[in-house]
Structure 1
Amino acid sequence: MSFQSDNDRPRILQPSGWPLPKGYANGMAADGRIVVTGGVIGWDTAGDLPESFIAQVRQALSNIAAILAEGGARPEHLVRLTWYVIDMDEYLANLKALGRIYRELFGAHYPAMALVQVVRLVEKAARVEIEATAVVPR
């Protein structure tokens, strides 16, 4: 059985009667080749991290887009993002800016997402780390 939609994008799984999530999907189904990233942080090609949370998110998402492209995937192929932040309040206080950055880089495609607060990340100056999974249609 194929779960692909007519346009070869992952299909959003929204159980009947559930409230619609904002900025993410409850689940995704897709057929194709899997492209995954490791935990991606917001450093640039020189290995430098910006100080601000927002700048780190922008760079981390840009880095994910570059990794996806290297694997022949695009942001609309994303089926899952897992965000690790060191300060949940910082994330929540910046929802509008985060939404703008996300849409600017990935459009209006919202995969299944999880958000986890952690004590710290491997890189001490990192404020966010994101893992991505995409499925490229065959």
Structure 2
Amino acid sequence: MTLVPLQPPGWPAPKGYANGMLGEGRTVLVGGQVGWDAEGRFAQGFVAQAEQALRNILAVLAEAGGRAEHIGRLTWYVTDIAEYRGSLAALGSAYRSVMGRHYPAMTLVQVSALAEPEARVEIEATAILPDRADAG
């Protein structure tokens, strides 16, 4: 099973995300992950927190036997959209170091605050894993 990007004809090609993804299988919903490690220590800086949040998503997903390529959607919540925009080059590199060149459907929203005061980004994921019969 693979996720298939959906691209309406004539639309400009998205950069670093997909407009939609088609998949069939077992659904895994990963709650919002922030940029802290297993001991609850936050990474320093926006990009480092985003990278750690992505690593945390993959750790949760691995519990179901999933990998980055099974992620169909990421929703990003950031506290400072200007910081996000100013970090795009470094963020792209950090993203690829964790996720490879897998670009699911994505949404990014600025929020006034996150539950953890030190958090600058929180990311949630929806993944579709192969049915167990197809996984082998």
Report the TM-score range of the alignment, normalised by the length of the smaller protein. over 0.9
Deviations 1:9-39 (Å, cap 9, x if unpaired)? 1010000110000000000110000111111
Q: How many residues align?
A: 131
Give distance in 2, aligned partners of 1:101 and 1:67. 19
Residues 1-138 of structure 1: pairs in structure 2 closer than 5 A: 8-138=1-131
Give distance in 2, aligned partners of 1:102 and 1:50. 15
Give distance in 2, aligned partners of 1:19 and 1:104. 26
Q: Which runs of 5+ in 2 are unaligned?
A: 132-136
Pick the structure with more strand per residue.
2
TM-score by length of 2: 0.94
Displaced runs of 4+ in structure 1, greater than 4 A? none
Q: Pairwise CA RMSD of aligned residues?
A: 0.7
Identity %: 58
Q: Which runs of 5+ in 1 are unaligned?
A: 1-7
Give distance in 1, aligned partners of 2:56 and 2:128. 18
- Please give the secondary structure, in 1, of the residue aligned with 2:62: helix
